[in-house]
Structure 1
Amino acid sequence: MRAALVVNKVVSDVSENMRNIIAYINKAADNNADLVMFSETALTGFSMTDNPKEDIKLGIPIPGEEIEKLCREAKKRNINLAIGVLEEDNGSLYDSAVFINRNGTIGLKYRRVSKGWRDPNKNNSIYMEGTEVLSYESDIGKICFLICGDMNNDTLITKAKALKADILLFPFARSFYGGTVTHER
Protein backbone atom coordinates (compact mmCIF):
# COMPACT_ATOMS: atom_id res chain seq x y z
CA MET A 1 0.00 0.00 0.00
CA ARG A 2 1.16 3.49 -0.83
CA ALA A 3 -0.13 6.38 1.30
CA ALA A 4 0.06 10.14 0.85
CA LEU A 5 -0.12 12.13 4.08
CA VAL A 6 -1.11 15.75 3.56
CA VAL A 7 -0.93 18.69 5.92
CA ASN A 8 -2.66 21.41 3.97
CA LYS A 9 -2.81 25.06 4.94
CA VAL A 10 -6.34 25.58 6.22
CA VAL A 11 -8.04 28.95 5.74
CA SER A 12 -11.47 30.22 6.76
CA ASP A 13 -12.89 29.74 3.25
CA VAL A 14 -14.07 26.12 2.87
CA SER A 15 -14.23 26.54 -0.93
CA GLU A 16 -10.54 27.45 -1.05
CA ASN A 17 -9.70 24.54 1.25
CA MET A 18 -11.69 22.25 -1.06
CA ARG A 19 -9.77 23.44 -4.13
CA ASN A 20 -6.46 22.78 -2.40
CA ILE A 21 -7.59 19.39 -1.09
CA ILE A 22 -8.70 18.30 -4.55
CA ALA A 23 -5.32 19.37 -5.95
CA TYR A 24 -3.61 17.19 -3.32
CA ILE A 25 -5.94 14.28 -4.10
CA ASN A 26 -4.96 14.57 -7.76
CA LYS A 27 -1.25 14.75 -6.91
CA ALA A 28 -1.54 11.67 -4.68
CA ALA A 29 -3.42 9.76 -7.38
CA ASP A 30 -0.88 10.83 -10.01
CA ASN A 31 1.80 9.30 -7.75
CA ASN A 32 -0.10 6.00 -7.48
CA ALA A 33 -1.18 6.39 -3.85
CA ASP A 34 -3.83 3.99 -2.58
CA LEU A 35 -4.78 6.36 0.24
CA VAL A 36 -4.56 10.10 0.73
CA MET A 37 -5.00 11.24 4.31
CA PHE A 38 -5.60 14.74 5.60
CA SER A 39 -5.54 16.09 9.15
CA GLU A 40 -8.25 16.79 11.68
CA THR A 41 -10.57 19.59 10.44
CA ALA A 42 -8.59 19.86 7.18
CA LEU A 43 -11.63 20.99 5.23
CA THR A 44 -13.45 23.22 7.71
CA GLY A 45 -10.71 24.61 9.92
CA PHE A 46 -10.51 24.54 13.69
CA SER A 47 -10.83 28.20 14.65
CA MET A 48 -13.58 27.81 17.23
CA THR A 49 -14.38 30.64 19.60
CA ASP A 50 -16.46 28.71 22.19
CA ASN A 51 -19.40 30.83 21.05
CA PRO A 52 -21.98 28.20 20.00
CA LYS A 53 -23.84 30.53 17.61
CA GLU A 54 -20.60 31.22 15.71
CA ASP A 55 -18.95 27.81 15.98
CA ILE A 56 -21.95 25.89 14.60
CA LYS A 57 -21.41 27.78 11.32
CA LEU A 58 -18.04 26.01 10.94
CA GLY A 59 -19.68 22.58 10.66
CA ILE A 60 -20.72 20.74 7.51
CA PRO A 61 -23.14 17.81 7.27
CA ILE A 62 -21.99 14.24 6.58
CA PRO A 63 -23.19 13.39 4.02
CA GLY A 64 -23.55 16.80 2.47
CA GLU A 65 -22.46 18.88 -0.51
CA GLU A 66 -18.77 19.10 0.43
CA ILE A 67 -18.42 15.42 1.34
CA GLU A 68 -20.28 14.38 -1.82
CA LYS A 69 -17.77 16.40 -3.84
CA LEU A 70 -14.92 14.51 -2.14
CA CYS A 71 -16.71 11.22 -2.82
CA ARG A 72 -16.92 12.04 -6.52
CA GLU A 73 -13.24 12.98 -6.58
CA ALA A 74 -12.19 9.75 -4.82
CA LYS A 75 -14.17 7.72 -7.35
CA LYS A 76 -12.89 9.70 -10.32
CA ARG A 77 -9.27 9.28 -9.19
CA ASN A 78 -9.71 5.71 -7.87
CA ILE A 79 -8.22 6.55 -4.48
CA ASN A 80 -9.18 6.06 -0.82
CA LEU A 81 -9.51 9.28 1.14
CA ALA A 82 -9.45 10.01 4.88
CA ILE A 83 -10.18 13.52 6.11
CA GLY A 84 -11.20 15.36 9.26
CA VAL A 85 -13.99 17.95 9.43
CA LEU A 86 -16.14 19.75 11.93
CA GLU A 87 -19.50 18.06 11.41
CA GLU A 88 -22.85 19.72 11.98
CA ASP A 89 -25.70 17.31 12.71
CA ASN A 90 -29.12 18.51 13.88
CA GLY A 91 -27.74 21.59 15.62
CA SER A 92 -24.80 19.79 17.22
CA LEU A 93 -21.11 20.10 16.35
CA TYR A 94 -18.73 17.12 16.27
CA ASP A 95 -15.01 16.72 15.58
CA SER A 96 -15.32 13.98 12.94
CA ALA A 97 -13.38 12.07 10.32
CA VAL A 98 -14.56 10.18 7.25
CA PHE A 99 -13.07 7.42 5.18
CA ILE A 100 -14.20 7.50 1.56
CA ASN A 101 -13.40 4.43 -0.52
CA ARG A 102 -12.32 4.22 -4.17
CA ASN A 103 -15.96 3.74 -5.20
CA GLY A 104 -16.79 7.18 -3.81
CA THR A 105 -18.74 5.79 -0.87
CA ILE A 106 -18.40 6.80 2.76
CA GLY A 107 -17.09 3.64 4.36
CA LEU A 108 -16.68 5.02 7.87
CA LYS A 109 -17.65 8.13 9.78
CA TYR A 110 -16.02 8.54 13.18
CA ARG A 111 -16.78 11.15 15.82
CA ARG A 112 -14.04 12.01 18.27
CA VAL A 113 -14.88 10.61 21.71
CA SER A 114 -12.48 12.64 23.90
CA LYS A 115 -13.57 16.13 24.93
CA GLY A 116 -10.26 17.97 24.61
CA TRP A 117 -11.26 19.69 21.36
CA ARG A 118 -13.47 22.19 23.19
CA ASP A 119 -13.39 24.16 26.42
CA PRO A 120 -14.61 21.65 29.03
CA ASN A 121 -15.29 24.42 31.56
CA LYS A 122 -18.09 26.01 29.58
CA ASN A 123 -21.64 24.80 29.23
CA ASN A 124 -21.53 24.61 25.47
CA SER A 125 -24.76 22.92 24.52
CA ILE A 126 -23.88 22.29 20.84
CA TYR A 127 -20.49 20.57 21.30
CA MET A 128 -20.86 16.80 21.24
CA GLU A 129 -18.69 13.70 21.11
CA GLY A 130 -19.08 10.28 19.61
CA THR A 131 -19.46 7.15 21.71
CA GLU A 132 -17.98 4.33 19.63
CA VAL A 133 -14.74 3.21 18.04
CA LEU A 134 -15.64 1.53 14.75
CA SER A 135 -13.83 -0.21 11.93
CA TYR A 136 -14.30 -0.62 8.19
CA GLU A 137 -13.03 -3.34 5.86
CA SER A 138 -11.51 -1.50 2.90
CA ASP A 139 -9.52 -2.69 -0.10
CA ILE A 140 -6.33 -1.66 1.73
CA GLY A 141 -7.25 -3.52 4.92
CA LYS A 142 -9.39 -3.10 7.98
CA ILE A 143 -9.17 0.51 9.18
CA CYS A 144 -10.30 2.49 12.21
CA PHE A 145 -9.95 6.07 13.40
CA LEU A 146 -8.93 7.79 16.59
CA ILE A 147 -8.79 11.58 16.49
CA CYS A 148 -6.21 13.70 18.33
CA GLY A 149 -6.84 13.46 22.09
CA ASP A 150 -8.51 10.04 21.70
CA MET A 151 -4.98 8.66 21.58
CA ASN A 152 -4.48 9.77 25.21
CA ASN A 153 -7.41 7.68 26.43
CA ASP A 154 -6.45 4.13 27.43
CA THR A 155 -10.04 2.89 27.14
CA LEU A 156 -10.30 4.11 23.55
CA ILE A 157 -6.91 2.63 22.67
CA THR A 158 -8.05 -0.72 24.10
CA LYS A 159 -11.25 -0.54 22.04
CA ALA A 160 -9.26 0.25 18.89
CA LYS A 161 -6.88 -2.67 19.56
CA ALA A 162 -9.84 -5.02 20.05
CA LEU A 163 -11.00 -4.25 16.51
CA LYS A 164 -7.75 -5.78 15.19
CA ALA A 165 -7.54 -3.19 12.45
CA ASP A 166 -4.69 -3.32 9.97
CA ILE A 167 -4.47 0.48 9.85
CA LEU A 168 -5.18 3.04 12.55
CA LEU A 169 -5.87 6.44 10.99
CA PHE A 170 -4.99 9.21 13.41
CA PRO A 171 -5.82 12.71 12.15
CA PHE A 172 -4.94 15.52 14.52
CA ALA A 173 -4.50 19.26 14.46
CA ARG A 174 -2.96 21.83 16.73
CA SER A 175 -5.54 23.66 18.81
CA PHE A 176 -5.07 26.70 20.97
CA TYR A 177 -7.24 26.14 24.01
CA GLY A 178 -6.97 29.08 26.35
CA GLY A 179 -5.35 31.32 23.74
CA THR A 180 -6.24 33.47 20.82
CA VAL A 181 -7.61 31.38 17.97
CA THR A 182 -6.84 32.60 14.47
CA HIS A 183 -6.13 30.87 11.18
CA GLU A 184 -2.73 32.54 11.07
CA ARG A 185 -1.78 31.15 14.48
Structure 2
Amino acid sequence: MSDYPIVRAAAVQISPDLESLAGTLHKVLNMIDEAAESGVELIVFPETFLPYYPYFSFVLPPVSQGPEHLRLYKEAVVVPSDTTRTIGNKAKERNMVVVIGVNERDNGSLYNTQLVFDATGELILKRRKITPTYHERMIWGQGDASGLKVVDSAVGRIGALACWEHYNPLARYSLMAQHEQIHCAQFPGSLVGPIFGEQMEVTIRHHALESGCFVINSTGWLTEAQIESVSLDPAMQKALRGGCNTAIISPEGKHLAPALTEGEGFIYADLDFRLIDKRKRMMDSVGHYARPELLNLQINAKKTEYVEGLPTENVNKPDSNVSLFNKGELSDDTAHDETISIPN
Protein backbone atom coordinates (compact mmCIF):
# COMPACT_ATOMS: atom_id res chain seq x y z
CA MET A 1 0.00 0.00 0.00
CA SER A 2 1.28 3.48 -0.93
CA ASP A 3 2.12 5.99 1.79
CA TYR A 4 1.03 8.79 -0.53
CA PRO A 5 -2.45 10.32 -0.14
CA ILE A 6 -4.99 10.11 -2.93
CA VAL A 7 -7.52 12.96 -3.07
CA ARG A 8 -10.82 12.78 -4.94
CA ALA A 9 -11.28 16.13 -6.70
CA ALA A 10 -13.95 17.75 -8.84
CA ALA A 11 -13.87 20.74 -11.19
CA VAL A 12 -17.24 22.34 -11.92
CA GLN A 13 -18.41 23.95 -15.15
CA ILE A 14 -21.66 25.70 -14.39
CA SER A 15 -23.82 28.67 -15.32
CA PRO A 16 -24.61 31.30 -12.68
CA ASP A 17 -27.98 32.82 -11.99
CA LEU A 18 -27.52 36.21 -13.65
CA GLU A 19 -30.46 37.60 -11.68
CA SER A 20 -29.50 36.98 -8.07
CA LEU A 21 -26.88 35.91 -5.57
CA ALA A 22 -29.43 33.64 -3.89
CA GLY A 23 -30.05 31.75 -7.12
CA THR A 24 -26.35 31.14 -7.77
CA LEU A 25 -25.72 30.16 -4.15
CA HIS A 26 -28.50 27.59 -4.42
CA LYS A 27 -26.74 26.02 -7.42
CA VAL A 28 -23.43 25.95 -5.52
CA LEU A 29 -24.93 24.12 -2.55
CA ASN A 30 -26.63 21.59 -4.82
CA MET A 31 -23.39 20.92 -6.69
CA ILE A 32 -21.52 20.34 -3.43
CA ASP A 33 -24.18 17.84 -2.36
CA GLU A 34 -24.03 16.07 -5.73
CA ALA A 35 -20.23 15.90 -5.65
CA ALA A 36 -20.31 14.48 -2.13
CA GLU A 37 -22.27 11.49 -3.44
CA SER A 38 -19.22 10.66 -5.59
CA GLY A 39 -16.81 10.87 -2.67
CA VAL A 40 -15.36 14.27 -3.63
CA GLU A 41 -13.00 15.79 -1.05
CA LEU A 42 -12.12 18.98 -2.98
CA ILE A 43 -14.37 20.97 -5.31
CA VAL A 44 -13.45 24.04 -7.38
CA PHE A 45 -15.97 26.56 -8.78
CA PRO A 46 -15.32 29.24 -11.46
CA GLU A 47 -13.96 32.78 -11.16
CA THR A 48 -16.26 35.29 -9.38
CA PHE A 49 -19.06 32.76 -9.64
CA LEU A 50 -20.99 34.43 -6.82
CA PRO A 51 -23.17 36.14 -7.82
CA TYR A 52 -21.82 35.97 -11.42
CA TYR A 53 -18.90 37.11 -13.54
CA PRO A 54 -19.56 40.64 -14.94
CA TYR A 55 -19.91 39.54 -18.56
CA PHE A 56 -21.63 42.84 -19.33
CA SER A 57 -18.35 44.67 -18.83
CA PHE A 58 -16.82 42.89 -21.84
CA VAL A 59 -19.53 43.79 -24.35
CA LEU A 60 -21.12 47.04 -23.12
CA PRO A 61 -19.46 50.46 -23.50
CA PRO A 62 -18.55 52.12 -20.19
CA VAL A 63 -21.24 54.76 -20.57
CA SER A 64 -23.89 52.01 -20.59
CA GLN A 65 -22.57 49.91 -17.73
CA GLY A 66 -23.89 51.94 -14.80
CA PRO A 67 -27.14 50.05 -14.08
CA GLU A 68 -25.52 46.61 -14.34
CA HIS A 69 -22.51 47.67 -12.29
CA LEU A 70 -24.77 48.98 -9.53
CA ARG A 71 -26.81 45.77 -9.60
CA LEU A 72 -23.59 43.82 -9.14
CA TYR A 73 -22.81 45.97 -6.09
CA LYS A 74 -26.21 45.05 -4.66
CA GLU A 75 -25.71 41.31 -5.19
CA ALA A 76 -21.99 41.15 -4.27
CA VAL A 77 -20.64 39.12 -1.35
CA VAL A 78 -19.39 40.62 1.90
CA VAL A 79 -16.77 38.54 3.74
CA PRO A 80 -17.79 37.32 6.29
CA SER A 81 -21.57 37.23 5.83
CA ASP A 82 -24.51 34.85 5.82
CA THR A 83 -23.44 33.79 2.32
CA THR A 84 -19.93 32.75 3.36
CA ARG A 85 -21.23 31.15 6.55
CA THR A 86 -23.66 29.09 4.46
CA ILE A 87 -20.85 27.81 2.23
CA GLY A 88 -18.65 27.09 5.23
CA ASN A 89 -21.42 25.13 6.91
CA LYS A 90 -22.00 23.10 3.75
CA ALA A 91 -18.28 22.37 3.45
CA LYS A 92 -18.28 21.13 7.04
CA GLU A 93 -21.46 19.09 6.54
CA ARG A 94 -19.96 17.36 3.50
CA ASN A 95 -16.40 17.20 4.88
CA MET A 96 -15.19 18.85 1.69
CA VAL A 97 -12.69 21.58 0.79
CA VAL A 98 -14.50 24.22 -1.31
CA VAL A 99 -12.77 26.77 -3.54
CA ILE A 100 -14.98 29.47 -5.05
CA GLY A 101 -14.64 32.88 -6.67
CA VAL A 102 -16.78 35.81 -5.54
CA ASN A 103 -17.39 39.43 -6.32
CA GLU A 104 -16.44 40.79 -2.91
CA ARG A 105 -17.87 44.09 -1.73
CA ASP A 106 -15.71 46.04 0.70
CA ASN A 107 -17.65 49.22 1.45
CA GLY A 108 -17.49 51.27 -1.78
CA SER A 109 -15.35 48.91 -3.89
CA LEU A 110 -15.69 45.51 -5.52
CA TYR A 111 -12.89 42.95 -5.79
CA ASN A 112 -12.31 39.71 -7.66
CA THR A 113 -11.79 37.42 -4.67
CA GLN A 114 -10.97 33.74 -4.21
CA LEU A 115 -12.16 31.91 -1.10
CA VAL A 116 -10.90 28.56 0.21
CA PHE A 117 -13.02 26.79 2.84
CA ASP A 118 -11.47 23.85 4.64
CA ALA A 119 -13.40 20.64 5.31
CA THR A 120 -14.01 21.98 8.84
CA GLY A 121 -15.98 24.90 7.38
CA GLU A 122 -13.21 27.34 8.28
CA LEU A 123 -12.31 30.01 5.74
CA ILE A 124 -8.55 29.49 5.44
CA LEU A 125 -7.75 31.80 2.53
CA LYS A 126 -9.22 34.98 1.11
CA ARG A 127 -7.24 36.64 -1.63
CA ARG A 128 -7.92 39.30 -4.24
CA LYS A 129 -6.86 39.25 -7.87
CA ILE A 130 -3.81 41.50 -7.93
CA THR A 131 -4.53 43.13 -11.30
CA PRO A 132 -7.96 43.00 -12.96
CA THR A 133 -7.64 42.39 -16.70
CA TYR A 134 -8.55 44.93 -19.39
CA HIS A 135 -12.34 45.55 -19.14
CA GLU A 136 -12.36 44.25 -15.56
CA ARG A 137 -10.59 47.38 -14.33
CA MET A 138 -13.88 49.22 -14.73
CA ILE A 139 -15.41 46.81 -12.21
CA TRP A 140 -12.87 45.72 -9.59
CA GLY A 141 -10.16 47.29 -7.50
CA GLN A 142 -6.64 45.88 -7.30
CA GLY A 143 -5.60 43.29 -4.76
CA ASP A 144 -2.23 43.02 -3.04
CA ALA A 145 0.35 40.33 -2.38
CA SER A 146 -0.87 39.57 1.14
CA GLY A 147 -3.05 36.84 -0.37
CA LEU A 148 -0.30 35.27 -2.47
CA LYS A 149 0.14 32.36 -0.14
CA VAL A 150 -0.36 28.63 0.02
CA VAL A 151 -2.49 27.21 2.83
CA ASP A 152 -2.63 23.83 4.52
CA SER A 153 -5.99 22.10 4.15
CA ALA A 154 -7.56 18.71 4.73
CA VAL A 155 -6.46 17.69 1.21
CA GLY A 156 -2.97 19.18 1.15
CA ARG A 157 -1.27 22.50 0.43
CA ILE A 158 -3.50 24.67 -1.78
CA GLY A 159 -2.67 27.75 -3.84
CA ALA A 160 -4.98 29.72 -6.11
CA LEU A 161 -4.87 32.30 -8.90
CA ALA A 162 -7.58 33.79 -11.09
CA CYS A 163 -7.55 33.91 -14.87
CA TRP A 164 -4.74 35.99 -16.37
CA GLU A 165 -2.84 36.05 -13.10
CA HIS A 166 -1.47 32.84 -14.58
CA TYR A 167 0.32 35.01 -17.15
CA ASN A 168 2.26 36.66 -14.32
CA PRO A 169 5.21 34.27 -13.83
CA LEU A 170 6.31 35.96 -10.61
CA ALA A 171 2.87 35.49 -9.03
CA ARG A 172 2.96 31.84 -10.01
CA TYR A 173 6.50 31.43 -8.71
CA SER A 174 5.52 32.88 -5.36
CA LEU A 175 3.07 29.98 -4.91
CA MET A 176 5.49 27.42 -6.31
CA ALA A 177 8.09 28.52 -3.76
CA GLN A 178 5.58 27.77 -0.99
CA HIS A 179 5.34 24.20 -2.29
CA GLU A 180 1.73 24.07 -3.38
CA GLN A 181 0.53 20.53 -3.99
CA ILE A 182 -2.80 21.48 -5.56
CA HIS A 183 -3.24 24.64 -7.58
CA CYS A 184 -6.81 25.89 -8.04
CA ALA A 185 -7.26 27.94 -11.21
CA GLN A 186 -10.44 29.83 -12.06
CA PHE A 187 -11.53 31.48 -15.31
CA PRO A 188 -14.87 33.06 -16.30
CA GLY A 189 -15.55 30.85 -19.34
CA SER A 190 -18.04 31.81 -22.08
CA LEU A 191 -15.77 34.64 -23.15
CA VAL A 192 -13.61 35.68 -26.11
CA GLY A 193 -14.18 32.51 -28.15
CA PRO A 194 -12.41 29.16 -28.68
CA ILE A 195 -8.95 30.79 -28.58
CA PHE A 196 -9.47 31.53 -24.89
CA GLY A 197 -9.95 27.85 -24.08
CA GLU A 198 -6.90 26.94 -26.18
CA GLN A 199 -4.74 29.46 -24.34
CA MET A 200 -6.04 28.17 -21.04
CA GLU A 201 -4.96 24.66 -22.00
CA VAL A 202 -1.36 25.80 -22.49
CA THR A 203 -1.38 27.86 -19.31
CA ILE A 204 -2.67 25.29 -16.85
CA ARG A 205 -0.61 22.42 -18.23
CA HIS A 206 2.56 24.49 -18.15
CA HIS A 207 1.96 25.51 -14.52
CA ALA A 208 1.46 21.87 -13.55
CA LEU A 209 4.78 20.96 -15.15
CA GLU A 210 6.68 23.94 -13.80
CA SER A 211 5.30 23.72 -10.27
CA GLY A 212 5.19 19.93 -10.07
CA CYS A 213 1.66 20.11 -8.68
CA PHE A 214 -1.89 19.19 -9.64
CA VAL A 215 -3.94 21.92 -11.33
CA ILE A 216 -7.72 21.99 -11.06
CA ASN A 217 -9.26 24.52 -13.43
CA SER A 218 -12.90 25.59 -13.39
CA THR A 219 -14.69 27.77 -15.94
CA GLY A 220 -18.20 29.19 -16.11
CA TRP A 221 -20.81 28.60 -18.80
CA LEU A 222 -23.55 30.78 -20.27
CA THR A 223 -26.68 29.39 -21.91
CA GLU A 224 -27.95 30.93 -25.15
CA ALA A 225 -30.77 32.60 -23.24
CA GLN A 226 -28.26 34.14 -20.83
CA ILE A 227 -26.08 35.39 -23.68
CA GLU A 228 -29.10 37.10 -25.22
CA SER A 229 -29.93 38.67 -21.85
CA VAL A 230 -26.47 40.27 -21.71
CA SER A 231 -26.55 41.66 -25.26
CA LEU A 232 -28.95 41.65 -28.22
CA ASP A 233 -26.13 42.44 -30.65
CA PRO A 234 -25.15 39.25 -32.57
CA ALA A 235 -21.54 40.47 -32.86
CA MET A 236 -21.32 40.93 -29.09
CA GLN A 237 -23.05 37.61 -28.45
CA LYS A 238 -20.25 35.91 -30.38
CA ALA A 239 -17.81 37.27 -27.78
CA LEU A 240 -19.74 35.44 -25.05
CA ARG A 241 -19.37 31.96 -26.52
CA GLY A 242 -16.51 29.46 -26.21
CA GLY A 243 -13.59 30.02 -23.88
CA CYS A 244 -14.35 27.05 -21.60
CA ASN A 245 -11.81 24.47 -20.50
CA THR A 246 -12.64 22.83 -17.20
CA ALA A 247 -9.81 20.39 -16.53
CA ILE A 248 -7.74 18.49 -13.98
CA ILE A 249 -4.02 18.23 -14.78
CA SER A 250 -1.35 16.01 -13.20
CA PRO A 251 2.16 17.19 -12.20
CA GLU A 252 3.33 15.57 -15.43
CA GLY A 253 1.11 17.90 -17.47
CA LYS A 254 -1.44 15.23 -18.38
CA HIS A 255 -5.21 15.45 -18.27
CA LEU A 256 -6.57 13.13 -15.59
CA ALA A 257 -10.04 13.26 -17.15
CA PRO A 258 -11.40 14.54 -20.47
CA ALA A 259 -11.70 18.33 -20.36
CA LEU A 260 -15.16 19.88 -20.38
CA THR A 261 -15.46 22.63 -23.01
CA GLU A 262 -19.23 22.92 -23.43
CA GLY A 263 -22.27 22.73 -21.19
CA GLU A 264 -22.64 22.25 -17.47
CA GLY A 265 -21.24 19.38 -15.46
CA PHE A 266 -18.41 17.96 -13.36
CA ILE A 267 -15.16 16.29 -14.10
CA TYR A 268 -13.64 14.05 -11.43
CA ALA A 269 -10.16 12.70 -10.84
CA ASP A 270 -8.15 10.99 -8.12
CA LEU A 271 -5.00 12.98 -7.30
CA ASP A 272 -2.20 10.55 -6.45
CA PHE A 273 0.42 12.59 -4.57
CA ARG A 274 3.08 10.09 -5.58
CA LEU A 275 3.13 11.94 -8.93
CA ILE A 276 4.40 15.10 -7.21
CA ASP A 277 7.59 13.41 -6.06
CA LYS A 278 7.90 11.65 -9.40
CA ARG A 279 7.94 15.01 -11.19
CA LYS A 280 10.08 16.91 -8.70
CA ARG A 281 12.71 14.18 -8.62
CA MET A 282 13.50 15.24 -12.18
CA MET A 283 12.90 19.00 -11.94
CA ASP A 284 12.20 21.03 -8.82
CA SER A 285 11.92 24.69 -9.86
CA VAL A 286 12.20 25.91 -6.27
CA GLY A 287 14.84 23.43 -5.16
CA HIS A 288 17.61 21.56 -6.93
CA TYR A 289 16.77 23.17 -10.30
CA ALA A 290 16.93 26.73 -8.92
CA ARG A 291 19.87 29.16 -8.95
CA PRO A 292 19.16 31.56 -6.08
CA GLU A 293 22.62 33.13 -6.31
CA LEU A 294 21.67 34.27 -9.85
CA LEU A 295 17.92 34.84 -9.70
CA ASN A 296 15.52 35.52 -6.84
CA LEU A 297 12.04 36.94 -6.29
CA GLN A 298 11.20 39.63 -3.76
CA ILE A 299 7.58 40.06 -2.65
CA ASN A 300 6.00 42.99 -0.84
CA ALA A 301 3.52 40.97 1.20
CA LYS A 302 2.30 43.92 3.26
CA LYS A 303 -1.44 44.38 3.23
CA THR A 304 -2.52 47.61 1.54
CA GLU A 305 -3.60 50.27 4.01
CA TYR A 306 -5.28 53.37 2.58
CA VAL A 307 -5.02 55.38 5.79
CA GLU A 308 -2.57 54.93 8.66
CA GLY A 309 -3.03 56.09 12.21
CA LEU A 310 -6.81 55.66 12.55
CA PRO A 311 -8.04 54.37 15.93
CA THR A 312 -8.26 50.58 15.66
CA GLU A 313 -11.87 50.49 16.87
CA ASN A 314 -12.88 52.57 13.82
CA VAL A 315 -11.04 50.54 11.23
CA ASN A 316 -13.05 47.96 9.31
CA LYS A 317 -10.83 45.16 8.02
CA PRO A 318 -13.07 42.80 6.01
CA ASP A 319 -10.19 41.73 3.79
CA SER A 320 -8.19 40.08 6.57
CA ASN A 321 -7.79 36.32 6.35
CA VAL A 322 -10.26 34.52 8.58
CA SER A 323 -8.77 32.19 11.16
CA LEU A 324 -11.88 31.60 13.29
CA PHE A 325 -14.53 31.74 10.60
CA ASN A 326 -17.39 30.05 12.37
CA LYS A 327 -17.01 32.50 15.24
CA GLY A 328 -17.02 35.40 12.80
CA GLU A 329 -13.59 36.56 13.92
CA LEU A 330 -11.07 38.17 11.61
CA SER A 331 -7.35 38.09 12.29
CA ASP A 332 -4.49 39.76 10.43
CA ASP A 333 -1.52 37.62 9.50
CA THR A 334 1.51 39.36 10.99
CA ALA A 335 3.61 38.04 8.13
CA HIS A 336 1.82 40.55 5.91
CA ASP A 337 4.03 43.28 7.34
CA GLU A 338 7.16 41.70 5.99
CA THR A 339 8.92 41.78 2.66
CA ILE A 340 9.64 38.22 1.61
CA SER A 341 12.55 37.22 -0.58
CA ILE A 342 12.09 33.96 -2.43
CA PRO A 343 15.14 32.44 -4.11
CA ASN A 344 15.00 31.06 -7.61
TM-score interval for Structure 1 and Structure 2 normalised by the shorter chain: 0.7 to 0.9
Does the Cα contact within 8 Å between 2:49 and 2:101 map onto a contact in 1? yes
Q: How does 1:21-170 map to 2 (within 5 A)?
A: 21-47=28-54, 48-49=56-57, 50-51=65-66, 53-116=70-133, 118-120=135-137, 124=138, 127-132=140-145, 133-170=148-185
Q: TM-score, normalised by structure 2?
A: 0.48
* CA shift digits 1:126-169 (9 cap, x unpaired): 73121121111112111111110100112212212111111111
Q: Distance in 1 between matches of 2:93 and 2:166?
A: 33
Secondary structure of the residue that 1:103 maps to in structure 2? coil
8 Å contact kept, 1:118–1:127: no
Aligned residue type for 2:152: E
Q: Which has the larger radius of gyration?
A: 2
Q: Relative to 1, partners in 2 of residues 1:144 and 1:117: Cα closer, same or farther, differing over 3 Å?
A: farther
Name 1:6's counterpart in structure 2: 12
Alpha-carbon distance in 2 for matches of 1:140, 1:129: 29
3-state SS in 1 of match to 2:13: coil
Indicate if the aligned counterparts of 1:95 and 1:112 stay in contact, CA closer than 8 A. yes
Query: CA, structure 1 residues 89+156, in 2 after alignment: closer, same or farther (shift >3 Å)?
Result: same
Q: Deviations over 1:102-134 (max 9, x none)?
A: 1111011111112206454xxx5x731211211
Q: Deviations over 1:88-108 (max 9, x none)?
A: 012111101101011111011
- Aligned-pair RMSD on alpha carbons? 2.3
Q: Which moved more, 1:102-111 or 1:9-18?
A: 9-18
Q: Distance in 1 between matches of 2:77 and 2:190?
A: 19
Equivalent residue letter for 2:183: L
Overall identity of the aligned pairs, in %: 25
State how far apart, in whole Å, the 2-side matches of 1:63 and 1:119 are.
24
Q: For 1:28, what is the secondary structure of its paired residue?
A: helix
CA distance in 2, matches of 1:80, 1:161: 20
Check the 8 A contact 2:157/2:182 in 1, yes or no: yes
How big is each residue's C-alpha offset from its partner over 1:52-102, in whole Å with a ceiling of 9 and x where there is no partner?
544423421111111111011111111110001110012111101101011
Question: Aligned residues, how many?
Answer: 179
TM-score normalised to the size of structure 1?
Answer: 0.86
Structure 2 unaligned residues grouped into runs of 5+? 1-6, 58-64, 193-227, 232-236, 241-344
Quickly say closer, same or farther: Cα 1:117–1:31, change in 2 above 3 A. Answer: farther
Structure 1: runs of 5+ lacking an equivalent: none
Structure 2 CA distance for partners of 1:67 and 1:93, relative to 1, 3 Å? same
> Which protein has the bigger helix share?
2
